[in-house]
Amino acid sequence: MSAETKLRELLAVAGVTVNGTNPWDIRVHDQRFYRRVLAGGSLAAGESYMDGWWDVDDMAELVNRLFRTGFNYTALVNVRTIWYFISSWFFNLQNKHRAFEVGEKHYDVGNDLYTAMLDSRMTYTCGYWKRAYSLDEAQEEKLDLICKKIGLKSGDRVLDIGGGWGSFAKYAAEKYGASIVAITVSKEQAALGRERTEGLPVEIRVQDYRDVSDGPYDHIVSIGMFEHVGYRNYRTYMKKVYELLKDDGCFLLHTIGSNKSVRSGSPWLDKYIFPNGMLPSITQIARAVERLFVVEDWHNFGPDYDTTLMHWYKNFDSALSTLYKKYNLRFYRMWRFYLLTCAGTFRARYCQLWQIVLVKRPNAERYDAAR
């Protein structure tokens, strides 16, 4: 059986036709595509798209259909991907020496790109769309939801692990009168974040979470950073949070989650978007918090990430005439593949978005989580 015949048969199971008429059907421009993808799996699929070997009108729906029908092209591997999986098993790819790599390669890529793509507060995590009609509204709803879940009040001192461009810090300081210390591994995030929070009780540091020592804090939040911690460090991370948190404080963990326990991420995402990233599972998080924290609430709004990512893509695509001055066509195709394939995985419910409220000592009264 030829590589083309085999891949066409695999795609047909998901209702995807090569050179078909549906918006999720792929168009192949280079016949080498079939052999390349069969040999290299998801890494080859992404790289061949970046190289212009194939196209699709509705990338997110293509991915949704593939994942919902069990198409697993991550199982199609070559030497490069095998080495990636082996490295993830035997080495701590998220140790302190490598912690800043994702900042340099992803978050420092250009504040102009993120300013064009994100909401006005520059919130690079899933919005909350329950009562929202725009990206700005969804992100404010999310930030306010976090403040309510931890019971934030004026004068509270909060640690934001992975503070980004200061969106939570600015909101919590302005709306709730809190004092925030935000840490990030990105120099560019920190620089712009300091500008955006000037005059507020906000301190933004370029610092690894393992080096924070100025607790205790009334509350701690981690919004979209835990995906960079790595399974070997989950327990270390939770012990650090426990050390820094007051006995009566709340810790809110906002993270993308996996339906199964894994020890590595996507080879393509690792190479081009999030070096050393991986998604935690419920089991892995539970083991990490056992005998440290009590889980007061576990809230899943994964489908909201599909909506958020599609808004980011729309903003990114609309800004192309400006961004092309700095970012070339290959970068555009890489970023498009990133945003839309991620949207598809959330649409298929292959990935989840969790907000987890953790406490050291639960109050005698029932905890009522904001929704």
Query: Which residues are known to be catalytic?
Result: 342
The CA R_g of the chain, rounded to the nearest whole Å, is 21
SS3 assignment, position 360: coil
Give the full edge-to-edge strand order of the sheet including 202-206: 202-206, 179-184, 157-161, 217-223, 245-258, 351-359, 294-300
The angle, 0 to 180 degrees and rounded to 10, between the axes of the packed helices 303-318 and 59-68 is 150
CA angle (202, 203, 208) in 5-degree steps: 135
Task: With beta carbons less than 8 A apart as the criterion, state whether 293 and 242 touch.
Answer: yes
CA dist 251 → 72, 152, 158, 168 (Å): 35, 11, 10, 14
Give the span between the Cα atoms of 111 and 13, in whole angstroms. 41
Residues 6 or more apart whose Cβ sits within 8 Å of residue 95: 233
Alpha carbon distance 237, 349 (integer Å): 27
Q: How many helices (H) and strands (E) does the chain have?
A: 15, 9
Instruction: Please tell me the total number of residues recorded for the chain in this structure.
Output: 371
Which tokens go with 83? 């080495």
C-alpha angle 34/45/75, rounded to 5°? Answer: 90
Q: Is 198 exposed, middle or buried (0-12, 13-18, 19+ CB in 10 A)?
A: exposed
Q: Parallel, antiparallel, or unpaired for β 202-206 and 179-184? A: parallel
Residue 140 amino acid letter: E
Residue 165 in tokens: 């461009």
